[in-house]
Structure formats: structure tokens, C-alpha cells
Amino acid sequence: MLARAMWEHLVSRWGYLAIALGTFVEGEAVLLSAGALAHLGLLSWPLVALSAALGSLGWGQTWFFLGRHHGRRFLEQRPKYAGHVRVLQRWVDRYGGWLVVAFRFITGAAIVLPVLIGASGFPKGRFFVLDALGALIWACVFAGAGFGLGAGLRGVLGRPIGLPEVALAALCGVCLLFLVTRLVRAARARAGSRPSSP
């Protein structure tokens, strides 16, 4: 009981900072957990989404500016990525601003795309505004999913949930995201290895 009270105190005191730092480093797993904690009442859902959006915005800006200053040289030194880079570059050229808003939702390309967008000479001010919008949408979607996960667990268990259930739900969510990512990559690899029709 004492340990639970201590954890709850730590979450309520440092939770938002941990979310901002966590979403800068990882993302979905942290946010799913934080959304479930908001359902427990330990955190405020709007502040969870705002903290996550700020952390994710910092992450997006970091990769964008790395791409702007070092992206071309980095990619030129790694010719094995040339085919993937050409495909992603076509996305950047074709979709521009929409891609900036949506890149966090694109499995397997969320790091490479802001680097390419930065290397392409995309305007800094426009990127910041669109990236902030994309970060906020992403944060609301996954914080909402975490909140719904907490509500669903409560409904299934028929009782209020605690931190152990939140941790287990977050772990299941991470495993599911990992599985979906692997399946999407495998499907892309199969599609890329098929011979083109004459």
C-alpha cells in the first residue's frame, strides 16, 4: 500500500515531465501508459496530451534540423538506402505540408522523413507550424487511445484499475505496435521483391 502511494505521488509530481522526455525518446508506449494513468485520475488528460505534444515537437524539430545541416551528406555516405530515400523523397515532393503533419503515423519512416524534409530545404517556419499541429494531433490520438484502454480494462475487470494493470496494458500495446510494424515492413518487402509485370 505504501509502495502504491509512493508511485502515485511520483506520477502526480513528475508525470508530465516524464511524458515530455519519454515522447522525445520513444513515443507511443509512453503516451498509451500516460493516457491510462489519466483514466485513473492520477494525471490530467489535456496536460498529458500537451506534454506529449511538446516532447514530440522537440523530437521532430531535432531530426528536421539534423537533416537540414547534415542530412544530404549522411545519406550520400550510405548508398544502400538510396532506393528507400528516392521513394520517400517522392513523398516529400508530392505531399509536402501534409507529410509534415502526418509523418508520425507512418510506420517505419517517422525518423527518416523529418531528416529528408529538412534536407530538402523545406522552410523552417512552415515546418515548425505544421510539425506543431502534427505533434498535437498525434498526442491527442494516442493519449485518447490510452485513456480508452484504461476504460476498457476497467470494464473488462469490473473494478477500478491500478498501476500494475496500466503497466500490463502498456506492455500489450507496445507488443501490438511492434507486431503491426513488423507485418507492415514484411508486406512492403514482399511487394518490393515481386518482379514487375512486362
Q: What is the pLDDT of residues 142-173, one digit of tens each?
A: 999 888 877 776 666 666 666 666 666 666 66
Q: Are 52 and 147 in contact (CB under 8 A)?
A: no
Contacts 24+ apart (CB under 8 A), 124-131: 124/68, 126/97, 126/100, 127/64, 127/100, 128/61, 130/97, 130/100, 130/101, 131/57, 131/60, 131/61, 131/64, 131/100, 131/101
CA atoms of 118 and 186, how far apart (whole Å): 28
- pLDDT classification of 196: cutoffs 50, 70, 90: very low
Q: Is residue 98 in a domain?
A: yes
Q: Is residue 195 in a domain?
A: no
Structurally, how many domains does the chain consist of?
1
Grid coordinates given for 165: 494493470
Please tell me the pTM assigned to this model.
0.76
**pLDDT for res 165:** 65
- Cα 132 to the chain's mean position, in Å? 13
The amino acid sitting at 31 is L
**pLDDT for res 159:** 62
Lowest mean pLDDT among 35-44, 133-142, 172-181: 172-181
Q: Is residue 198 in a domain?
A: no
Q: Are 37 and 10 in contact (CB under 8 A)?
A: no
Nearest to 32 by CA among 17, 47, 48, 46: 48
pLDDT tens per residue across span 86-145: 777 788 788 878 889 998 888 767 778 888 888 888 899 999 999 999 999 999 999 998
Q: Is residue 129 in a domain?
A: yes
Q: Is residue 99 in a domain?
A: yes
User: What is the residue range of 43's domain?
Assistant: 18-189
Q: Is residue 23 in a domain?
A: yes
Q: Are 37 and 149 in contact (CB under 8 A)?
A: no
Q: Is residue 8 in a domain?
A: no
Grid coordinates given for 63: 531530426
Q: Is residue 11 in a domain?
A: no
**pLDDT for res 53:** 95
pLDDT tens per residue across span 42-79: 888 999 999 999 999 999 999 999 988 887 787 777 77
